[in-house]
């Protein structure tokens, strides 16, 4: 079963290592022995029934290696049983996607021989993570060796150790051969083609594959707008009377774009077996705390935190803080306009090359300040959301996304709205949009691609040099790999990646009619984003655990909200155009009523379109209905046999 590197490479054991588990170097021996026994123990005794062995690094002159690094693996049968426990879906012999069961394992399409090809690398590691996370305390009152680290029946052992800093990290190992093949087909050859989404899903899981699928879809969807924008830019650049046509195209594009994506994501999710997969019961977050109580659903003891206290923290602290940050954002925006007027006055007094360049300086400075403010606010938002003490990870993520989106939207777009609808200066709007977009893209590429690449390259050189100095010419591939991966940065999920695409979607859908090259710039940015993100996932970050996903989650709602705002914005821009004003030279009220009517009609059209276009293609709906029917029939037969 080719799931990873053999531990025998380092003479540690003979099983295939899948996950690295690192405890603090000063962890008490009693705690280590207790944890390892719980991981190895049989399931019927409350253990995880996994294979685990210690990985010892040679002594080093400059620093003492951590002796508490362990490799975790599993037998094939345990993984197959675990696949049923976590509810994995696999392709059946008839081509439908069904929940995997060990009893019917030979009825699944990819099950051959002993079944070593039925589970992907990422799925095996996800199963091990699930087993570790659900390893629960039994009768222990505290962690052995730590009298103050209390335990109670039903508490997740791993989450408890993680929240108290005893467990530093646990992560899946890279598979060198699979990673090499994926890298070659993904980013090592520059080619204008689709990404290998199935291979990405096979290696990293559905959550990450859906992000890259969305990134690819968004990029291709922008191509028509970019192709229209280039001649529009070349021939109508100074003719702002004609931006109405581009605004109308914007309206249609932003509406159809998201509706078609729902069908694409449903098709991908069905093919990967996550569309009909039931959502797993969520366990409390590692950082969740409160007085000991009972969970009314599971009946287990766990921390309980009153919802009223959480609401007080949200409305009395978090909301005022967000409003204060929004006020600071508006204040910085007004400072930017003062700088802008100062640069314009200097240019008007002495128009030459130097002063014409000076016109762009305020926008560049403001774009840099926006990125810095977004970064600082992100740290504050994470701290506040953690302090609110949400029980579930999904609730934590939803509150964090809401905080970040509100601030980022205001911080990035408030100045553009002010220029467009208060100042009504389309020349300045075009200049500001171009400067903000270009500067933010350059900064993002530096921070997300070049800087991590440079830091990781330095880190790799240090590790390789240290291993060569210690071991000479002796080959220790596993030791070197684990040493390297333990020091890599941890991938924190797709949050920042989706946020970047959300802001780019805003720049394109809101104001690109006054700067048609916006779509072209975003296409170029996303092409480089695919390659830089692919490289980061393969060589900069630790391999993340697979996360089953049906769609892009709360980000779908965020993009749909932005598309609604885009309808209102583009209708307002149409109303401000000289063409529309020429039809109503003496009646602004009538013009406003017409624009509002058009806006309501377009919004109604948007919602009708969302209703008419099914989110799930017809053939997938039929297959899901067949599966449900077969399940009901099987249940009826089972009841008849019992009777």
**In this predicted structure, what is the pLDDT of residue 12?**
42
pLDDT at 359: 83
In this predicted structure, the answer to whether residue 445 has a pLDDT above a threshold of 50 is yes
pLDDT at 487 over 70: yes
pLDDT at 474 over 80: no
Integer CA distances (angstroms), 126 to 132, 172, 331, 477, 580, in order: 10, 9, 47, 24, 58
The CA–CA distances, whole Å, from 481 to 7, 476, 539 equal 11, 9, 12
pLDDT at 3 over 60: no
pLDDT reading at 96 higher than 80: no
Asked if 298 and 154 count as a contact pair (C-beta separation under 8 A), the reply is yes
Given a cut of 80, whether residue 382 has pLDDT beyond it is: yes
The answer to whether residue 281 scores a pLDDT higher than 80 is: no
Can you read off the two tokens belonging to residue 454? 């440079």
Contact 46, 136 (CB under 8 A): yes
- What secondary structure does DSSP assign to 98-154, as a single string? EE--STTGGGBTT--TTTTTSS-HHHHHHHHHHHHHT-B--S-SEETTEEEEE--TT
Statement: residue 408 has pLDDT above 90: yes
457-462: Cβ within 8 A, 24+ apart: 459/484, 459/487, 459/488, 460/484
- Tokens 């680290």, located at residue: 149
Residues 45-53 have a mean pLDDT of: 88
Confidence of residue 39 (pLDDT cuts 50, 70, 90): very high
3-state secondary structure 521-546: HHHHHHHHHHHHHHHHHHHHECCCCC
User: Residue 261's CB: how many other CB atoms inside 10 A?
Assistant: 20
Token pair belonging to 435:
């400067």
Average pLDDT estimate for 442-457: 74
> In this structure, are residues 551 and 235 in contact, taking their beta carbons and an 8 Å threshold?
no
Count other C-beta atoms under 10 Å from residue 222's C-beta.
26
Kindly state the tokens that stand for 230: 């280039």
The predicted-structure confidence for 126-183, as pLDDT tens digits, reads as follows 999 989 988 888 888 888 888 888 887 777 888 888 888 899 999 999 988 899 899 8
Count how many Cα atoms sit within 13 Å of the Cα of residue 623 in the half-sphere of its side chain: 19
Q: For residues 634 and 12, which has the higher predicted lDDT (pLDDT)?
A: 634
Distance CA 502, CA 556 (A): 10
| pLDDT tens by residue, 538-550 | 888 889 999 888 8
Question: Distance (Å, rounded) from C-alpha 173 to C-alpha 400?
Answer: 29
Contact by Cβ (8 Å): 507, 522: yes
Question: According to the model, what pLDDT value does residue 136 have?
Answer: 83
Higher pLDDT, 167 or 468: 167
- Give the contacts of 489 (CB within 8 A, at least 6 positions apart): 452, 456, 540, 541, 542
265 vs 253: CA distance, rounded Å:
18
Residue 272 has pLDDT above 70, yes or no: yes
pLDDT band at 5 (very low <50, low <70, confident <90, very high): very low
Average pLDDT of the chain to the nearest whole number: 82
**DSSP structure class, residue 17:** -
Other Cβ atoms closer than 10 A to 282: 11
pLDDT of residue 209: 94
* 456 compared with 318, residue with greater pLDDT: 318
Which range is most confident: 138-147, 260-269, 472-481, 618-627?
260-269
- At 416-434, the pLDDT tens digits run 999 988 888 888 888 888 8
Give the residue among 160, 124, 129, 126 at the shortest CA–CA distance from 34.
160
pLDDT in tens, 176-226: 889 989 988 888 776 656 889 999 999 999 999 999 999 999 999 999 888
What is the per-residue pLDDT for 331?
Answer: 94
Among 206, 208, 205, 209, which residue's Cα sits nearest to residue 196? 209
Where does the pLDDT of residue 286 fall: very low under 50, low under 70, confident under 90, or very high at 90 and above?
low
């Amino acid at each position: 079963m080719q799931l990873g590197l053999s531990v025998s490479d380092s003479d540690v054991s003979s099983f295939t290592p899948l996950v690295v588990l690192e405890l603090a170097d000063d962890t008490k021996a009693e705690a280590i022995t207790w944890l390892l026994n719980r991981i190895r123990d049989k399931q019927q005794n409350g253990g995880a029934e996994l294979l685990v062995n210690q990985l010892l690094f040679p002594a080093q002159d400059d620093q003492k290696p951590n002796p508490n690094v362990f490799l975790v693996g599993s037998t094939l049968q345990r993984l197959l049983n675990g696949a049923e426990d976590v509810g994995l879906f696999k392709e059946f012999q008839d081509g439908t996607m069904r929940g995997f069961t060990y009893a019917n394992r030979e009825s699944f399409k990819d099950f051959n021989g002993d079944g070593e090809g039925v589970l992907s690398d990422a799925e095996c590691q996800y199963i091990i993570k699930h087993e570790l996370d659900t390893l629960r305390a039994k009768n222990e009152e505290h962690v052995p060796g730590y009298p103050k680290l209390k335990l109670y029946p039903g508490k997740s052992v791993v989450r408890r150790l993680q929240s108290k800093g005893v467990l530093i990290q646990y992560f899946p190992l890279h598979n060198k051969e699979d990673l090499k093949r994926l890298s070659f087909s993904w980013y090592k050859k520059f080619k204008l083609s689709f990404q290998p989404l199935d291979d990405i899903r096979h290696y990293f899981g559905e959550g990450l594959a859906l992000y890259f699928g969305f990134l690819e879809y968004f990029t291709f969807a922008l191509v028509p707008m970019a192709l229209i924008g280039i001649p529009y830019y070349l021939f109508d650049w100074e003719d702002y009377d004609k931006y109405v046509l581009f605004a109308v195209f914007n309206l249609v594009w932003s509406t159809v774009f998201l509706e078609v994506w729902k069908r694409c994501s449903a098709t991908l999710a069905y093919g990967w077996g996550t569309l009909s997969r039931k959502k797993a019961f969520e366990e409390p977050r590692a950082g969740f705390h409160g007085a000991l109580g009972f969970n009314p659903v599971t009946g287990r003891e766990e921390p309980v935190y009153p919802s009223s206290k959480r609401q007080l923290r949200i409305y009395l602290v978090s909301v005022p803080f967000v409003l204060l940050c929004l006020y600071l954002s508006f204040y910085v925006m007004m400072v930017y306009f003062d700088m802008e007027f100062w640069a314009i006055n200097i240019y008007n007094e002495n128009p030459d090359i130097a002063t014409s360049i000076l016109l762009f300086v305020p926008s560049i400075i403001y774009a840099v300040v926006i990125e810095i403010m977004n970064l600082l606010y992100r740290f504050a938002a994470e701290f506040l959301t953690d302090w609110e003490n949400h029980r579930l990870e999904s609730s934590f993520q939803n509150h964090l996304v809401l905080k970040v989106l509100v601030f980022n939207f205001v911080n990035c777009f408030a100045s553009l709205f002010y220029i467009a609808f208060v100042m009504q200066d389309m020349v300045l709007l075009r200049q500001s949009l171009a400067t903000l977009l270009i500067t933010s893209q350059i900064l993002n590429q530096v921070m997300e691609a070049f800087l991590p690449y440079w830091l990781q390259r330095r880190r790799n050189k240090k590790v390789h040099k240290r291993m060569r100095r210690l071991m000479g010419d002796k080959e220790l591939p596993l030791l070197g790999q684990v040493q390297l991966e333990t020091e890599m940065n941890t991938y924190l999920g797709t949050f920042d990646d989706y946020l970047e695409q959300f802001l780019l979607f805003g720049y394109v859908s809101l104001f690109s009619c006054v700067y048609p090259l916006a779509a072209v710039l975003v296409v170029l940015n996303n092409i480089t984003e695919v390659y830089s993100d692919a490289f980061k996932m393969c060589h900069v970050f630790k391999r993340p655990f697979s996360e089953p996903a049906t769609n892009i989650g709360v980000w779908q709602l965020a993009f749909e909200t932005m598309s609604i705002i885009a309808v209102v914005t583009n209708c307002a821009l149409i109303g401000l155009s000289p063409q529309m004003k020429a039809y109503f030279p003496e009646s602004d009220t009538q013009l406003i009523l017409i624009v509002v009517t058009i806006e309501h009609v377009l919004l109604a059209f948007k919602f009708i379109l969302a209703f008419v276009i099914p989110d799930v293609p017809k053939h997938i709906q039929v297959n899901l209905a067949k599966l449900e029917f077969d399940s009901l029939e099987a249940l009826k037969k089972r009841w008849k046999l019992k009777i």
